[in-house]
Every structure is written in C-alpha cells, then in structure tokens.
Structure 1
Amino acid sequence: MANSFDLIVIGSGPGGYVAAIRAAQLGLKVACVEREHLGGICLNWGCIPTKAMLRSSEVFHLMHRAKEFGLKAEKIDYDLDAVVQRSRGVAKQLSGGIGHLFKKNKVTVVMGEAKLAGKGKVSVKTDKGTEELTAKNVIVATGARARNLPGLEADGKRVWNYKTALMPPHMPKKLLVIGSGAIGIEFASFYNTLGADTTVVEVMDRVLPVEDEEISKFAKKQFEKQGMKILQKSTVKSLDRKADKVIATIESGGKSDTHEFDTVISAVGIVGNVENLGLEELGVKIDRTHVVVDEYCGTGVEGLYAIGDIAGAPWLAHKASHEGVMVAEKIAGKSVHPIRPESIAGCTYCHPQVASVGLTEAKAKEAGYDIKVGRFPFIGNGKAIALGEPEGMIKTVFDKKTGELLGAHMVGAEVTELIQGYVIGRQLETTDEDLAHTVFPHPTLSEMMHEAVLDADGRAIHF
C-alpha cells in the first residue's frame, strides 16, 4: 500500500530527520511528517541561525579590536538587516539540504499536521485534505516551543520570543532579557555586542544556572565587563506595554522597582509540543508537557517512541539526533545502547563561550564522590594569548579513588569545540592518568585541557 510504512516519523527537526534517514539507510520504508519547515526549530529558528548572527557580532567585536592586532579599521558599523538576511540564508540553505537528503535516502515527506489516530495509524491534515498513514512503528519528534509566562507573553512588537529576536523589527537601544539560560544569554550577548544597553534578569542565584558555579561566576564577570547588567535572584513581576517602550516591574532583593526598556526578550524556558497529537488517547504518560519515556525512548505503547525535546532534558539538538539514530537502529533490529544524559555536552555560544559535560563540582560532592579538581586559566596558554583571548578557564572534576573523569567545565574562546575531547574521554572511560599520558599538540588551546587534568594531581606545568 502506498500509505503503509515500516516507520512514520512525526517532526523533521534534528531528532526526526536523523531518525528517518538512519531508518531508511537500514532498509526501512519511511515517511516523515512535517507541519512547517524541514529541519524543525533548531535549523530554521534555533541553533543554526542564532550561531550565524552570533558570528556576525563576534566579527564586529573583533573589528573594534583591530588596533590590538596591528590592523586598521575605520568607521566600523553594522547593517542589522544584512546580518539577519545572512542568518536566514544559512538556515534556508541547510533546510534545503534536508530535502535533498530525504530524496537521496528515499524518505517520503508529507507536509501537514499529524495526529495519532490509533496504534500504528497517523492522520495528516494537508493542504489537499486528510491523508491516512499506517506503520508498525511511529516516532514522535515534535520538539518544543518557547514558554510564555502570564503577563510576560511575547507580542512580536516590544516583547519578543526567540523568533522575533532572530528577525527583529528594530534594533534595541535598551534591552531587557528575562532568563539567563543558553537562549537568553546568547541573545543578550548578541545585542549587547551590537551596542544595546542590556539587562539580564535571572530568578536563580546565578547566570547560566545549570553550569558549574565557578564557571557561572567567571562568565558573569566577563558579561559585566562588556557592559551587561546582571540581576540575580530577581523576578520580572509585570510588563506595562506602551507603543514605544515597556515598563518592567522587577523584584530584586525584596524590593520592587520599575525600569524602562524599549525591547524585552522573554527566554524563560520551553514547553513540549504534546498537544493535539492523540498521545493521551493511546495511554501515553505526559509529565509537565513532556512525554515520559524509558531509556530506549519507548512510551510504553508498543511501537510508539518519543525523542528529542518532547522527551525531556537535556533539551539539546545533538541529544535528539543521537536518540533518533538509537531508536531507528532498535526498530531495525540492531543492538543499541541507551543514552547517557550525563555524558552529553552542553554548549552556550555567548561571548565568552561556555561548555560542559558531566557532573559539576557541587553535584559530584552531592553524589558522594571523594573528588579532586583541576583548573587551568587561558592566560597560561600561548595560543590563547596569540589569539588575543586570555580570559577563560578550564576545570576538571575527577573521582579521587578511581581517576574517573566525572565532569569538565569551560569558559572562554572556542570551548564549544574543545569540550568534545572530554566527551570522548568519558565515553571511553579514560582516567586522569590516561589523559595525563596523552600528547596534546602545540600551540593549541587544547593544551589547556591537558594542564587542567595535570593540575588535579598538582602537576600543571605552565601555571
């Protein structure tokens, strides 16, 4: 039957499209249903376009530092529309690439809104009517969207969510960012670098609250050096919206004050896209807008899986992709290993960058480990100084008894690229001695990873 498949994937984000392609590679007949854009939020409105915009702000920042490098740059300026246009072009190119990959791998694409019509049945509302698809296995990969708090809802005019921030109707002069997780701090970094007077409000006791406390404190100092105002243990109680401004009531330190901004970005987390999918009717358990799954992403309903943001933390594209491959291989009868969330790196592309994997120092202690900690600053690394990037640090956390690498935490230039070295180390279960005996190339930033390991045993050479 034309509408009968081995696997139907609902959603074509970094979890869905990867699952569909891997399943097709393994010989399964696959359909992927997408209601909006191939590539999902990550590719079209998240990971990729934000990195393109952040690259523009990074180059702009470096242009202002030209004199430090013996260069001349005069009348430095930017064109925000052109920055956005480049960002959208990058997203469009990659979205088109997904279509090519689907065609190459013979994945059937159905554009429309999907709903589970029963076990192994998916009903899709398309612009031509309703299409009924059947499959022995279904993967739900519908992702998540920005959370809206009552009174702080985005309106696309003066109060923005991530979509508006990626296609801004104006350049903010005085900007309030609510939330200092990855999304909030990346947009704060972008607009602050372009000259916006930026204030970040965080309800927790520190910015980037999921990171190691020492890294959070270091990052905060750098943000403040760049002119950002950081309000921790603070809450935005209300927004009074005017035609050309927003008056925010912010509670901090037990006191409430009003502050005037021309733009607000709300980045207070995400909620899973679980509505109108027919999940509850099939008996799928949903907890706080996320599907409850087992270690293999099974929902408890035979043949029905959920991957990516809809399946809970960590809400990361690379976690979704890995889950997609695992489930596709499981369906195809391959032997698979469950995901280890504690071995998935988190990356934040603010300036300076932040990256981490595994347990923080505090979490390692809470878990009962007797630990040893190593640190190494960028100022002790020749490549960092040559690059003009001496501000940063790398921190390692080891089990004192076994030498196991429990966690690694970084802040500074290019740490989102460096972190994978420690991710591989954790995957291969290397010890501090294994890493200490590894020869790192010179001159590279990666040498700091070696020194941070050596420092855990009091053996660091260059600091």
Structure 2
Amino acid sequence: MRAAQHGKRVVIVEKHLLGGTCLHQGCIPTKSLLESSKLYERVKHMEEFGIEVNQDSLFFNVAKAFERKKAIVNQLYQGIQYLIKKNKITLIQGHGHLVGKPKHFEIGIENGSTESEQTIFSNHVILATGSRPNIPKGITIDGIKLFTSDEILAHPLRPDHITIIGAGAIGLEFACYFQQLGSAVRIVESEDRLAPLEDEEISRQIGSIFDKRGIETMPGYQLLVEHIEHVEGEPMTYTLQDRNGEKSMHQTDAILFAIGRKNNVSALGLTSVGLADEAAFLQTNAYMETDVSGLYAVGDIAGSYQLAHVATQQALIAADTICGISTLPYQPERVARCTYTHPEIASVGLTEEQANAAGYDIKVGKFPLHFNGRSLIHGDSEGFIKMIVDKKTDMLLGTHMIGQGATELIAMSGFAIFMEGTAWEMGMNVYPHPSISEIFGEAAMAVSGMAIHS
C-alpha cells in the first residue's frame, strides 16, 4: 500500500489469505476469544460492583464466541481486500519463488496447476513470508488431542484439562483463555520462569497471579515427546523431566505446543540470487535490504521480534527506501511487546538485566496499580509499572508494566524513547485523573524518590 501511494506498480504474490497469520491465525482471533473469556470471568464477579448475577444461568457458549471471532476476522479481511483494490495493487494467488536476477528479479509463481504457472519480473522484491508454529520432532499434530495455535483456533474446544508447552506470549494467553472457560490448565516451560523474555519482576508477578488463579505452572521442565501416549476416548499420559533429570508422569485431555514459530525462509529460491537458504532468518541492514541489492525482507523472516506491528513498520521503511523517500531506520529498542493475558503484560526498551549487562548505570522507578484510583474503580488493581532510566542522562531506557490497560498505555513510553525523553519530562507531563495513565508520571517521579502517592 505504501509503495502504491508513492506511485509504484505493485504485485502481491500470496499463497493463502491476505492479512497472513496475524489476521487469520494469530493476533485478531486470539484477542477476540480472550475478550469473550475475560468478559465471562468478569460477569461471574459482578456482585463486587453491586450487580447481582444468577450464577446458575451463566454459560460460556464456545461456538458463539468462535462465530464472533470469525465475524471480526471477516470484516477486517474484507477491509484489506478493499484497500488492495483501492490502491490498484495486483494480487496473484500462488507460491512465489526467486528464479534469478540476470537484470531484473525473475519470480516464478506456482498455484498447483502447471498450465497456470507464470513468471514476472521486478526491479525490487520484498520478502514477507512470515512464520509458522514450531513443532517438536516426533510430534504429529492431529487437531484432536495435539495442537498448535493454528488448530486450536480452527474449532471450538473446551477440554476438561489442557497442558500448554511454552510460557511465552502465545502459551500465557491461551492459559488465560482456557482457565477463564473453566478448564484446568497446566503450563510447562523449559526456562526457569514464565514469560522468560520479560523483566524478571514481571515474570514473578504473572507466575504468582497464575498460581493464585489455579493455573498449574511448571517452569524448569521439559516434555519428553517420545513418552506421549493416547488412546481414543481416554486422557493422554505424558512425561516431564526437570533440570535434575527427575521424571514425572501426567495426564491431560489436550496438549497445545506454544514453543515459538519457525520462519518461512525455505523454498524461496534464495540460492538463485546468491543467498543461503538454510539460515533461520534473512540478514538485512537497518533499512531492511538484504545483501542482494534491491531485495528486502520484512517481518518474522527478518529476524527481529515476531510481531505484526514490527512487520508493518519494517515494510513502511522498505517501501520508502525503495521509492527514494527519506525514512528512519528500523530501531528494535522502540518496539512495544504486548501479551494479552489477564492482567496484561507490556514492555518497551531494555529490561533491568539488559541495561545492567549493557553497562548502564541505572535508576529504577516503580509504582503499584493498587495505589491508582482508576485501577481500583475498574476492579483490576493487580500489577505495577517499572521504569529503567540512565542515571547519567535521566533518559528513559525501558518501561515494563503488568496490569489493566498495559497494552494500550505502553505506546506512551515508546514515544518517550523515540523522542529521547527523560524521567523528569515524563514526571512533569500532565495526566488526566482518574486514569491508569497516572502511573507513568508516578513511576517517573519514583525514579528520584519523589512519587506522590506511595
């Protein structure tokens, strides 16, 4: 769309559906289901707000929640199709691969019919082939008892017990969803804490909240895939092993593998233009161009955060660069990372551990949500905000938040980092009252020990 706005003739080659994983098998469908399950959980506690609810009449209709999810996805999908037509972009359905670059890039397109195979030529190519769920060797996903996020989102499912392998964003979000539905949930993580990429204090907080809500958490364990046994109509049995080699047997109705995603870098014809095709991702410069002039890579396959908003930002940078428009380089330190658990987790910039490892002399400011009026009014006061600041310059290095509204509010710190903002400036900003956003000012003032409400 950006390249078309700049007057370029644009062709998209897409094997499946416009919108990719985020729209059809990721961000949008999962957040839709989480919204439904969170509302169901909230209704069960309405008496705290003075609203009397007959618990006997409450029922979560998983099929209807999936219908709502489908309607949201379809509406957004139609919007993308409209924008493609509006911008006069040519869409070719099929699998595209590089054939070579004698003068221009030669791209072969297969769509399953030999008669319909075609070749197109282009001065510039952007590879944006995304990723797919990572599946352990020896596992056959059947969509009945063994799942990835793709299969779990395809059909309504409400198991009595589910085991989730992996405690990153995907695993944590599905743990919340199924627990709110009423399923018993066990989440297994090979690292020694949940949310292992987040600040350690955030990890401890979400672990404590999950334990309190009855989600069984097993950090420091790994699944022995060769020991999974299941008979139709009976619960599965499987074996876990801890760091000391101790093994334990467990039962479950379903296993969800949420152990990351594998980049779609194979079958792209990379060797035809002089690039290796066995790498986990494609190396690019800060303007998303590979070592081959005119060939760009964006999104998951470019090796940064596997997030839709990262892919969008990188695509805009690549398109502007191709069109000769001045633009900013990709800056991963400005990327907000969001996990839509209950409560939500959001972060941007460096963690305390990363800042120390990078050699910064830091100051830390924290503020708990239970001192925030809007959080108490909303009925969600679990969590806190934490700011990491360079002691020498007072510049914000990172912000980490767990709590209601975190995923909406984190962009405030992202913008502050972008503008090279300081803790003093964030503390002096005027925040509306009552609002959750006030915690940003309090945490910024807490950096120098001057928070008002703690």
Q: Is the 8 A contact 1:296 1:339 kept in 2?
A: yes
Q: Is the 8 A contact 1:32 1:110 kept in 2?
A: yes
Letter in 2 for 1:28: K
Q: Spell out, residue by residue over 1:5-49, the C-alpha distance to the aligned partner (whole angstroms, 9 max, x if none).
A: xxxxxxxxxxxxxxxx00000000001111111101111110011
SS at match of 2:117: strand
Matched with 1:412 is 403
- C-alpha distance in 2, partners of 1:98/1:136? 25
Matched with 1:51 is 31
Residue 192 (structure 1) shift = 1.0
Matched with 1:252 is 242
- Choose the corresponding residue for 2:40, options 60, 72, 80: 60
Q: Is the 8 A contact 1:123 1:133 kept in 2?
A: yes
- Matching of residues 178-257 of structure 1 within 5 Å: 178-238=165-225, 239-244=228-233, 245-254=235-244, 255-257=246-248
Matched with 2:433 is 442
Q: Spell out, residue by residue over 1:127-184, the C-alpha distance to the aligned partner (whole angstroms, 9 max, x if none).
A: 5611211110000000000011113442211010001111235311111000011111
Residue 61 (structure 1) shift = 0.9
- C-alpha distance in 1, partners of 2:271/2:191? 33
Q: Is the 8 A contact 1:271 1:290 kept in 2?
A: no
Q: Is the 8 A contact 1:397 1:407 kept in 2?
A: yes
Residue 340 (structure 1) shift = 0.7
- Matching of residues 357-372 of structure 1 within 5 Å: 357-372=348-363
- Choose the corresponding residue for 2:266, options 237, 251, 275: 275
Letter in 1 for 2:108: S
- C-alpha distance in 2, partners of 1:169/1:106? 37
User: For the structure 1 residues 435 and 169, does the alpha-carbon distance in structure 2 shift closer, same or farther, using more than 3 Å as the test?
Assistant: closer
Q: How many residues align?
A: 443
SS at match of 1:394: strand
Q: Is the 8 A contact 2:223 2:239 kept in 1?
A: yes
Letter in 1 for 2:124: N
Unaligned runs of 5+ in 2: none
Matched, 1:156 2:138: no
Q: Spell out, residue by residue over 1:202-249, the C-alpha distance to the aligned partner (whole angstroms, 9 max, x if none).
A: 001110000000011011111111110110111011222322332110
Identity %: 38
- Choose the corresponding residue for 1:335, options 326, 329, 332: 326
- Choose the corresponding residue for 1:144, options 131, 134, 156: 131
Q: Is the 8 A contact 2:146 2:254 kept in 1?
A: yes
Matched with 2:62 is 80
SS at match of 1:291: coil
TM-score (norm 2): 0.96
Matched with 1:3 is none
- C-alpha distance in 2, partners of 1:333/1:288? 29
Residue 313 (structure 1) shift = 2.0
Matched, 1:303 2:294: yes
Higher relative contact order (CA 8 A, sep 6+): 1
- C-alpha distance in 2, partners of 1:26/1:285? 32
- Choose the corresponding residue for 1:345, options 320, 323, 336: 336
Residue 257 (structure 1) shift = 0.8
Matched, 1:122 2:130: no
Unaligned runs of 5+ in 1: 1-20
Letter in 1 for 2:133: A
User: For the structure 1 residues 380 and 335, does the alpha-carbon distance in structure 2 shift closer, same or farther, using more than 3 Å as the test?
Assistant: same
SS at match of 2:123: strand
- C-alpha distance in 2, partners of 1:287/1:441? 52
TM-score (norm 1): 0.94
Matched with 2:346 is 355
Matched with 1:12 is none
Matched with 2:371 is 380
Matched, 1:96 2:81: no
Q: Spell out, residue by residue over 1:273-331, the C-alpha distance to the aligned partner (whole angstroms, 9 max, x if none).
A: 11211012311245642112222111111211110001112111101000000000001
User: For the structure 1 residues 405 and 50, does the alpha-carbon distance in structure 2 shift closer, same or farther, using more than 3 Å as the test?
Assistant: same
Matched with 1:22 is 2
- Computed over aligned residues only, the root mean square deviation of the Cα atoms, in angstroms, reads 1.2
- Matching of residues 99-114 of structure 1 within 5 Å: 99-114=81-96
Letter in 1 for 2:212: K
Q: Spell out, residue by residue over 1:401-451, the C-alpha distance to the aligned partner (whole angstroms, 9 max, x if none).
A: 100101100001110001000000000001111112111111100001110
